[in-house]
Amino acid sequence: MSSDFGFWKHCTGDPGEVFDKLAEGDASDLTSSLGVLRFREELLARWPDIEDVLEPSEFDLGDSPDDAMKYVLLTLSVRQLDYLPEILSMAKGAGLVGFSGVAGEPI
């Protein structure tokens, strides 16, 4: 079992719809932000095992490198859910908003 969470700086449109589009690789409703890139880098530095559950993946960034500054999508395993309080704190510190795919609401 896993839980999906998305993080970004600013979006146009409904956060739930933006989240659903991200699952399909569509980041067109998001604006770029260095805060998103820093958040991504901090996640990977703190928890290297998160790389396998983080999107956009390095492979995806080969096609759309700007997406690294638009969003972070995490599919956390039950074990990785222990990271969530700190992830949320890091996102808040970076000025990002989030959306929980499990709860179906902003976080």
Residue 63 has pLDDT above 90, yes or no: no
Average pLDDT, the chain: 93
pLDDT attached to residue 2: 83
pLDDT tens digit sequence for 66-94: 999 999 999 999 999 999 999 999 999 99
Residue 25 has pLDDT above 90, yes or no: no
Return d(Cα 20, Cα 34) in angstroms, integer: 23
The pTM of the whole model exceeds 0.75: yes
